[in-house]
Structure 1
Amino acid sequence: MATSKAANRTGTDFQLRPVLALKPLDFEAAHEELDEIALAATEADLSRLVRFLKKKGTIQDFLAAVFDLSPFLRDLARRCPQFLDRLFEQTVAQRLDAVTARIGRLADAQDVTESGLMKDLRHLKAEAHFLIALADLAGEAEAPETVKRLSVLADACVGCAVDFLLRDAHRQGKLKLPDAQNPAEGSGWIVLGMGKLGAHELNFSSDIDLIVFFEPSAPAILDRLDATDLFSRLTRRLVRILQDRTENGYVFRTDLRLRPDPGSTPLAIPVEAALTYYEGRGQNWERAAMIKARPVAGDLAAGEAFLKELTPYIWRKYMDYAAIADVHSIKRQIHTHKGHGEIAVKGHNVKLGRGGIREIEFFVQTQQLIAGGRFPELRGRGTVPMLGRLAERGWITAEARDALVRDYWFLRRVEHAIQMVADEQTHTLPDHDEELERIALMLAFDDADAFSTAFRETLGDVERHYAALFETAPQLSAGVGNLVFTGDVDDPDTLHTLNELGFQRPSDICRVIRGWHFGRYRVTRSAEARERLTELTPALLKAFGETRRADEALMRFDELLAGLPAGIQLFSLLQSKPALLRLLATIMGAAPRLAAAITRQPHVFDGLLDPALLSELPDRAYLSARLAAFLGSDRSYEEILDRLRIFALEQKFLIGVRLLAGSIDPARAGRAFSHLADLTIGAALQAVVEEFAMRHGRVSGGRLALLGMGKLGSRELTAGSDVDLILLYDHDAEAEESDGEKPLAPSHYFARLTQRLIAAVSAPTAEGILYELDLRLRPSGNKGPVATHIDAFRKYQRSEAWTWEQMALTRARAIAGDDALCTEVESEISALLALPHDRKKVLRDAAEMRALIEEEKPPRDLWDIKLVPGGLIDLEFIAQTAVLIGAIEGEVRSTNTAEIIARLTPDFAPAQMRQDLSDAAALYMALTQMIRLCLVSGFDRNDVPPGLADLLLAATDLPDFSVLEAHLNETAITVRRHFDTLIRGKRK
């Protein structure tokens, strides 16, 4: 786009012309933001910009709306108003070209240092980021242009850093570059961009996925034996240059986990070793990933040669049955859940959720894998161009192409808007109305309702096309052989079919299914029920076979049938809703805990019949309303306790199903499990208080407050968590005994009442238990009384509590009881935590306590996520000690580990360290929630249900279990290193 001569001469025309008119959330606040930016421009002596911002007009209104809607862009404009001022001289496109060119020249300077390069790259990237976002929100650049610009920016930054490092190695005599002016040529260092970077489709706050190889025969390499170490060191420096957060921010978060066998390979791999790996051990997901691979920096010619060598591995010439099975195994690994019922807008993951970006990408990639071996024109990297090629070749209809192209770019715009708010690497729409309104306005919708309608339509459209590609009718036997279960003798062809489907004991399976047909269970006694089940059986067997623990899955389903009173509705529903059938198969094959819940109490399955299940968020208000309706009124004490158990079991199951189906994330599941415990234990306390008063009366002025501790206090409960509580009480000072038929002294009264509460919650009844309770965190532990007077609690915490008890108090939260006392307790805890603590003593005690735990409870293995060095305990100790020593930003107290870590003060934990710890908290939460949801016992690395492995990969968005394990190990090492720095004072 050319700039007019007048504009170049006078510099009075602002070179941005918004096509879209954006509305702010708050008009007055928006123009106040513009005034603040004008003030920053005044301080920077940018008088031209000041005059422009003070005027009234459509561009000023647009900028005001942008800065109101995006705190990230607003803060950038305040810090660097010159980003806006330069748009008087150049258009966005021209300025981006200039920035990219400048990045390309940074490494050429003779006196450039690594720290100087890092600073310059961060500043230039920030300006480019700002301009790309501004043009996108203005509609001046469509989504295809935005992703291309982001990708070109990433290419330039990676290329600049690579060139700098190559020249540095040349200066130090570690490489001999053929041409120091063009350092990458002949260097042998191959940097492949993967995923969205490889396809020129980066999102606004995207990671960049890189794989690094080197060609040992390259002319620049002096010592082939040292080359692996040399290029691995250079790669580590490359990541630091791009990723480390400094006072100037970061360039791009960088991920190297897509390299071959990341747990045991160096960061840079020799080409020959890589080819040997891919051709001999390469996984299905790696084939799909390599479709988008592109040399982005380093020795581009060597990179292209490497990809050419890989062509036969990626693009198979013939598609046999095994190859088709490979494609379907990729689908399992990507593990997109489509669920059933209405799609929720709030909290929906635009990338991984139902009808999301990943489904469109997978739609394209599977077709490419199937046909690309025979049709080279289908081997492109870009999602949208390949949709066009697929339609040209007749693999998809023109209607599917047009719809998916439209849907893809809409979803990419939504993704960008989400990320432009705060430059966060998230793909999830907000939960709250105002924040959803923000996203709607950024996309130029009138309001959140209009956006939600368009968003649901788009997701439904994607899901329909995706389903047409992958869904099959329930009737399976026509395509795979015999499935005959009549008579008393096994049919040989049926045994063969079952074996092909994945069953290890086909004869036993035949026997079980014959039992269904013989009507041995109540659920199959009617002819109509048996007929429905017969029609469903092929689809059942296929679904259970795909869990890869087919025999166990079917046996658990058999246990479910044995306990059901009737089955026609269930069988019809499963037949008509394949997504629900897959979900049931996943539960039976990968989640023994959930399967046991269904088989013990089949009524919990009724919740799955609710079509709105996956679109309703299980927040506190939702659960509270459901509990009130379920308890009703005028019930006996025993009825209340039983109904609380029934309700908790069903809601734990349904929260778990939402997590399993991907409709809520692990952190939200933790909050939901905690809300459920708050409400049901609170209801139990109320029932106990009323029942106890009938016999013993009440103590004058008596009040109770239940403190949730541990994971309940931090709102991080899992499906298998027990509950840590402290019961505090107060009463009138002159009260000597209760006023009931059998009066008790106050201390005795509240101790007995607490024992009654423990029994009410933990004692097994016909409906099971509500929660296992642990009261050992009370003052003096097991030696102290089970109920504690508030004054005794206050005195103990102020004068006698050990450091570990003060650390535990950082997670304390009042969950039930008298409102006034709960408020008083919360205030007291805040006051206790705000008291000055001896920093050295706190850190020393925490370090000694961690060492003692490590000695007395060594971890079983890497997957003992709580106890492993660098695991959950290390993270929790960092958060808890930070609270005690006042190393937390903000006034509002939080008990949640991840929230506390995100608020660590920069002087305590620098930005990169905070990011590492936050990433670790998210990873540990995802793994812990899924493992505790699925397994009753501990996680055995050597006996992981394949279905659970897929769920863990889906929860962490990683492509392979070895990659996940390597990432978990790297994360633990990083957390332990930061723990040593922060707690043990070991600075490196």
Structure 2
Amino acid sequence: MSFSFSQVDVTLNQLAQQLIEQFPAQYNTLIFQQIEKDKTHPTSNIGQLYCAIAMSDFFAETLQKQPHFLHQCWQQCPRLSDCADYSARLTPLFAEVETEEQLYKVLRQFRHREMAKLSFCQSLNLGSVEEIFIRLSQLAESLIIGARDWLYQRACAEMGTPVDEQGTPLQLYILGMGKLGGFELNFSSDIDLIFTYASNGETVGARRSIDHAKFFTRLGQRLINALDQYTADGFVYRTDMRLRPFGENGALALSFAALELYYQEQGRDWERYAMIKGRILGANAQDPHVKSLQQLLRPFVYRRYIDFSVIQALRDMKHKIEREVRRRGLVDNIKLGAGGIREIEFIVQVFQLIRGGREKRLQQPALLQVLPEISALELISRQQKEDLRQAYLFLRRTENILQAIHDQQTQQLPENTLDRQRLVVATQGFTQWDTQNKVTSVTYPIHDWASFCEVLHRHQQNVRAVFDHLIGEEKEEPSENESLWADFLESDVDEQDIAQLLIDHQIAESDFDDIIEKLRQFRNEVMRRPIGTRGRVALAQVMPTLLQQIFTHTAYLSLLPRMLNIVDKILTRTTYLELLVENPQALPQLIELCAQSKMIAEQVAKHPILLDELLDRNVLLNPPPYNQYASELRQYLLRLAPDDEEQMIDGLRQFKQATLLRIAAADILGALPVMKVSDHLTFLAEAIIHHVVELAWQQVTTRFGTPTHLAEGEKGFLVIGYGKLGGIELGYKSDLDLVFLYQSHEQSQTSGGKRSIESNQFYLRLAQKIISIFSLNTFAGVLYDVDMRLRPSGEAGRLCSSLAAFKAYQLNEAWTWEKQALVRSRAIYGEQALQDAFSAIRTEVLSAPRDRATLKQDVVAMRQKMYAHLAHTDPHHFNIKTDRGGITDIEFIAQYLVLAHAPDNPALTTWSDNVRIFDIMAESAVISQEICDKLKQCYVDLRNRIHHLNLLGEPSVVPQSEFQAECQFIQGIWQILFDHNEQE
């Protein structure tokens, strides 16, 4: 819908008449004559001009200053289709420019003329709000890039051309930030820019070379002057460079490497918010540096995990907005006020920062394009989305009308009657465009200023409702910290002050030097690190509480370096510092866990994302049933791209680390006994093994297809767990002892892949791929260390054997120690029929007749060999695992009893874990119930001690007196079973 001068009220008609009277005489007389003549044709050119003049002083002034433009409008009024192809229309104008003075004139006159056209289209509602600000952005981009390119040629002629190592000229890249970057420029916006260039070096082709930094800095300065300097023709754009690294104190232009380093090490949250809309202006898709710059910036903005700092930043922004509104008296500001444009932008950006790393569809700068995606992800309701969209369009139209009046950047509602009437008239004829770009007339009940304000307030209330809903209830701000350590980070706190604090905590004076040195080193490191303002605020909140709690703990000497190491690793990652501030219960919980577990402290320091696992103590005290790990892992991996192998592998490692932390926490907090800890660790490993095999199968079958002898859904593949995995007795640092078996079929080939291979080769490739996935060392570490030495023929054997070959080897070639190992084996992965086949082989092998004397001799010899190579030799200490009377002796006792008695009682082969092996031995009268119970108790106590030593990061060695009774009992059983045959 368009409207004519007949719809403009009396005051605006009078204004238009006054403005027209200031036009050159040959025009104003003709205009008034034409108006009188065209009263019956309200949509005539002159009628529309009259309306546009009434709505915008800027439009009228442009017509006065550029009579040739008035003449063009007289002949044919602007249309939205005229507001396009800016670069193409600027090119011939720049071609005629010979001096910077001429450049300034061309830029300004073209800008004013094109802005006047857009003001005309806006006033007459010839385009949607979105179409107007997209064209405003395109105009700005064309002017900026055109000016840069002209000035670049002049700079090269004067200072030489910057080139890369291959001699290719380098350009100045300009990041358009804010609304310019998002194609959402206001009618009279400042433009926020960042200058960067690909690499350092020196210019070539000039009498005197200069370095690239100096070249691009000078070019940037000239570009700013060309845009920002006020001349007789006005200015082009007010240019703001404060968003660049280090703000006003930073270099005007930075290399890609310097830019990346800054954002990696010092980038702050507000810079992440700003960079959401960062866009390379005039980007050439064929330029490899464009892609490099985009890839450089993306990880800074969009992270793969939920960013807790967003929550706190949202609250901080709320307070900042309210303080700014109060300080500047901006209650009627449609951008900064409650329910204003900034709150809508912030709502959208928060979801982009939280979810954008996982949801690529949120990685776009334009708000109106992102809003439907947020709703589609069900992060906000459809009604909330529509409320925000309608409010945004209404507020942006209001903003543009305000700014087009005098070409001034303002979002303040006017106090004068004239400009209020302009807003009333403009919003009476407001036409909305829906998401399919179809025109939808929105008839607001606006007929005066009061009704305009009513509609405006309704939109603002809708925005504020969504904004408040996202923030939630905020707890009261904490009172001033009264901790003894509140001033620790201040430079004027010296060693004597710290010593006094230690005295107050009743710390042993003998520990002072060590503690003070650690604290001094930490504080010096803090002072050198680029933490940023917000990081330092968060650190100042965390450290007093942290140190207070450390020095009230009995294990302060070991706890202090562990906690300082964690803080050191998150110093420049404000997210995690704020997590500890935001969740006060997390810090004491972290201290409790780190005091008892060096492993947890090291893992959290290496992977701070694990701090998320410490938020809910109830979750730590109530770990999920171990049989749910498979489904939990499936749910966890659903968030990742299934065709991104690296991301899936990282996901497996992250899941393992997070789950391991939860198990260890439950162990430390007393929620899991040692047997249950091993159950959890074992079934966690099993769940991961299943997904690794599935991932490897997908990769291998894509290349080679599947063996033709398999039925639909079959894999014909078995994973056998040995040792602690097979015995359901995994510890925190256990390797995985695996053997791979497959269902053989003569002359079977693969089909359906890129090339066909024999089935036995297929399973070999599958085994290799599985081991590769487990062993790949990524940022998240190695998934598990895998030991394949228990396969037939050990390291000399094939990685993967057929079931038939495995059976033949075990029955005819296996050594006694291999049969011992088979006792603690079970199928971990594979079709049930194959698992049953393996169980039958295992039972047959273990139950096969054997000479007991020879068996006894082999077991003793193997134990003696292990003792000689692995046992602890210090007589004052006891190696729980390898010394006589330790874990290994108990395991050998269990294995010997199975191998010795299974030929007469095959049921003894049922279990692979030592505890149930002893139980079935007692049931079968192989050993007494008393001996069974005592062996189990010794075994559980020793394993429990190893678990806790592992958590502390200490070796499995204790004072010789600690398990003296247990050692004597176990050695007594050994002597009874083996008739004193072991050599002393």
TM-score class normalised by the smaller sequence: 0.3 to 0.5
**TM-score of the superposed pair, with normalisation by structure 1:** 0.46
Highest RCO, 1 vs 2 (Cα 8 Å, sep ≥ 6):
1
Bigger Rg over Cα: 2
